[in-house]
Structure 1
Amino acid sequence: MERVKKRIFHYKNEYVKNVELVHYDSATNRRYRLDIELKNGDNEKAVQLMMINPSKANEEISDNTLNRIIKYVSLNNGAGILQDIGKIIITNLYVVCETYPEKVDEYISVKSLDFVKGIDSDGKYNNDTIIEMANKEAQLIIIAWGKGYIFDYDKRIQEVFSLMKNKEMYLMEDLTQEGYPRHPRTWAYSWKLKRYNIQG
């Protein structure tokens, strides 16, 4: 039986000026931060996108989700909430590179929960510290992790919210029926960002 070739996505030259893999531990295949500079907008003004976990995207190869984010920000940075934004900072709740988020849970049993969150004591980087640094650099944060099938998922979300106190946060349209911010793979380019206030 012939194997189906997986589609390879590339960054769109019309939108992207430069991509930098800021924090990546090649020994453990964990990505902590990816920066995307846009051709239009001010590269000193950044939006931070908080998602569930990284895919295999790097400086050379993109994915469908990143391309959708890049296009959305580029189409909307002429005015409004994203005005003049010229850089997208990608961070995640979890740092293991896995195309299918539901497989992230498997890493917890093999490694540990802290390994998956990227805050293990013997790790090269600390994900929570990196998230806090990105918070300070970004003008606003878009939460976009969607629903996750990962051990202690809601607890991890609360941990990350504690790192974002007093920051201007947005989500796309509204929460899903399950109560999570919409993942970018579901975004429509006509949708609007709305202010989000931490519950509870």
Structure 2
Amino acid sequence: MYDLEKVDQTVITIDEETLLEDIDVRYSLTIPFLDRGEGLSVGIVLMNPSKANMNISDSTVNKLIKLFYEYRVNNRQIKDLTIFNVLPIYASNTKLSIKKIRNLHLANTLDEVQKRNETKIKLKMKNKSLIVLAWGKPEVNTIPNLLYYKEVLRIVNLVSTLHKDNLYVLDIENAKSTFTEHGDPRHAGRSVTLKGLNKIKASDLFGL
């Protein structure tokens, strides 16, 4: 459930479609905060959608809502969040995700979906005040690295052009480093506690 003391659920917007009858795709989910007509607009890039839509939230989205409702940038509050994904296919775990991805590939629609995802992200990112990268890394033996990072590079190329001076990653409590051991931006899921944000440069994403 959404926290209705923070979120104006009546004006949540979602860009989604259903493919092959049973594969749901979500390109973006915009969550406005209650009674905030002014403020900064944040874009967040996660791995893939899990459950959250216009009617229900999920644990990752709830963590982000809690963080950004209180967050300030130069004393300016956040008015809304737009959540994007490296892979826009709804799945509760990465094992299910790769199954759906393969089905889209067999139907010759996967590349079309990912290009559409890139186009939609580019369009909506232009109006964001800051971009938070939080895609993490898929579990072992699920989404192959080459497939995943091919799509990650689409996102990196976009943000490097549009928001190179306003890039952030999540600051995770008790994390030993800003990025994961593989160099990925840390994800908001599982049992992590979010402390805030760390500002980064586009070159940091390549370990430079």
TM-score when scaled to structure 2?
Answer: 0.78
Task: Name stretches of at least 5 consecutive residues in structure 2 with no aligned partner.
Answer: 172-177
- Match for 2:64 among 37, 45, 69? 69
Contact 1:108 1:116 in 2 (8 A): no
CA distance in structure 1 between the partners assigned to 2:46 and 2:77 by the alignment: 22
Paired residues, what number? 183
- Match for 2:89 among 96, 100, 113? 96
Structure 1 residue 33: deviation in Å?
0.8
Contact 1:57 1:63 in 2 (8 A): yes
Structure-1 residue corresponding to 2:77: 84
Q: Deviations over 1:59-81 (max 9, x none)?
A: 111101111100110121xx336
CA distance in structure 2 between the partners assigned to 1:163 and 1:187 by the alignment: 27
- Match for 1:34 among 29, 33, 40? 29
Contact 1:49 1:143 in 2 (8 A): yes
CA distance in structure 2 between the partners assigned to 1:138 and 1:35 by the alignment: 12
TM-score when scaled to structure 1?
Answer: 0.81
Residues 1-200 of structure 1: matches in 2 within 5 Å?
A: 10-18=1-9, 19-27=11-19, 28-39=23-34, 41-42=36-37, 45-76=40-71, 79-80=72-73, 83-112=76-105, 115=110, 118-119=113-114, 126-148=116-138, 149-151=142-144, 152-164=147-159, 165-167=161-163, 168-173=166-171, 174-185=178-189, 186-189=191-194, 191-199=195-203, 200=206
Structure 1 residue 119: deviation in Å?
3.1
Contact 1:73 1:82 in 2 (8 A): no
Contact 2:8 2:32 in 1 (8 A): yes
Task: Name stretches of at least 5 consecutive residues in structure 1 with no aligned partner.
Answer: 1-9, 121-125
How large is the RMSD of aligned CA atoms in angstroms?
A: 2.3
Moved over 6 A (4+): none
In structure 2, relative to structure 1, the CA distance for the partners of 1:180 and 1:129 (3 Å cut) is same
CA distance in structure 2 between the partners assigned to 1:34 and 1:93 by the alignment: 13
In structure 2, relative to structure 1, the CA distance for the partners of 1:82 and 1:20 (3 Å cut) is farther
Structure 1 residue 176: deviation in Å?
1.1
